[in-house]
């Protein structure tokens, strides 16, 4: 199977990029499943049920989050009712929502790239309308780092390993979004889970790293997927207020920037039977 992971969607420009570019990427890569980090999707801070609905309608199957989880109070409704929305696993026991989920993989329409007789033999993107079950499931897990991160959560290493053991009883195809700041913590976390999960991709720094690789145990790894939104910016926000904040130390309003919108992430191909990664490829697609 092939999945696309989309790095932190920032505000309306980020959502537009997903809506516009996802159908093309789905066709180009013959994607079976799409996961996106949505922690900055509402005006750059947090997420609401309405915005999650918009992202799901654009073709995303599961939304992960991170330290901006609580920025919009409406998130409580998502945590209570939406199984396709994940929060970091390593919040204390009793926190609403879930840190992982197992989801059915469907294939959409005709096999992508296959000539479609009705369309005069032209290869056609699969329509979202006609889903075929594959009999395969994918587990998605979201965890948050503790180095240079707030709030201090439980140990993501021990909790993720326990959770992965449970998930592996249901499927070997397991994707992990590790939302963390320190490259050392992220790489160590990926190495720790090598051979236990299909992929570990980092989020939170909004800067795509160039270290995509498959570890010896078969786990695909990328320290950070980058962010989906305006790149003529500082991490998605207007440049001037951020510089002013660094110059003066005074609080500023950080509006979401507008220009040079890109979708960042990674396409990962996974062996259905073993759950091991076959290929990982970074994505940085410009919205024209």
Binding site for Fe ion (CB under 5 A): 8, 39-40, 66-67, 204
CB of 242 to Fe ion, least distance (A): 15
Contact between 118 and 254 (Cβ < 8 Å): no
> CB pairs under 8 A, 24+ apart, for 119-126?
125/23, 125/24, 125/26, 125/27, 126/26, 126/27
Quick one: 36 or 173, whose CB is closer to Fe ion?
36
CB of 273 to Fe ion, least distance (A): 34
Quick one: 114 or 232, whose CB is closer to Fe ion?
232
Rounded distance between C-alpha atoms, residue 95 and residue 89, angstroms: 9
CB of 52 to Fe ion, least distance (A): 15
Q: Which of 196, 153, 200, 156 is nearest to 175 (CA)?
A: 200
Rounded distance between C-alpha atoms, residue 214 and residue 189, angstroms: 14
Quick one: 66 or 265, whose CB is closer to Fe ion?
66
Quick one: 235 or 277, whose CB is closer to Fe ion?
235
Whole-number Cα distances in Å, 67 to 35, 133, 178: 18, 34, 11
* Per annotation, catalytic residue among 68, 179, 206, 231: 68
The side-by-side arrangement of strands in the sheet containing 100-108 is 100-108, 131-144, 174-179, 199-203, 220-222, 213-214
Quick one: 106 or 282, whose CB is closer to Fe ion?
282
Contact between 218 and 195 (Cβ < 8 Å): yes
Q: Is 179 a catalytic residue?
A: no
CB of 220 to Fe ion, least distance (A): 21
Residue number with the shortest CB distance to Fe ion?
8
Helices vs strands, H then E, count in the chain: 6, 12
CB of 243 to Fe ion, least distance (A): 20
Rounded distance between C-alpha atoms, residue 96 and residue 102, angstroms: 18
Active-site positions? 68
């Amino acid at each position: 199977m092939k999945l696309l992971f989309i790095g932190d969607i920032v505000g309306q420009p980020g959502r537009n990029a997903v809506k516009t570019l996802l159908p093309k990427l789905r066709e180009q890569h013959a994607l079976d499943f799409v996961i996106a980090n949505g922690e900055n999707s509402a005006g750059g801070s947090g997420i609401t049920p309405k915005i999650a609905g918009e992202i799901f309608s654009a073709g995303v199957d599961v939304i992960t989050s991170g330290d901006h989880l609580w920025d919009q109070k409406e998130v409580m409704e998502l945590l209570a009712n939406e199984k396709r929305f994940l929060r970091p696993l390593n919040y204390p026991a009793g926190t609403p929502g879930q840190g992982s989920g197992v989801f059915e993989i469907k294939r959409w329409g005709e096999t992508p790239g296959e000539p479609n007789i009705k369309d005069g033999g032209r290869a056609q993107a699969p329509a979202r309308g006609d889903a075929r079950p594959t009999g395969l499931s994918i587990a998605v897990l979201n965890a948050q780092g503790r180095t240079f991160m707030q709030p201090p959560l439980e140990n993501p290493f021990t909790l993720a390993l326990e959770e992965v053991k449970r998930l592996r009883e249901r499927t070997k195809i397991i994707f992990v979004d590790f939302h963390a700041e320190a490259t050392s913590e992220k790489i160590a976390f990926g190495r720790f889970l090598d051979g236990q999960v299909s992929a570990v991709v980092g989020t939170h720094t909004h800067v795509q790293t160039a270290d995509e690789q498959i570890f010896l145990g078969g786990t695909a790894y990328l320290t950070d997927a980058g962010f989906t939104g305006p790149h003529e910016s500082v991490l998605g926000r207007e440049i001037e207020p951020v510089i002013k904040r660094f110059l003066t130390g005074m609080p500023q309003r950080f509006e979401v920037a507008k220009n040079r919108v890109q979708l960042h992430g990674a396409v990962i191909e996974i062996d259905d039977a073993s759950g091991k990664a076959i290929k990982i490829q970074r994505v940085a697609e410009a919205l024209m």
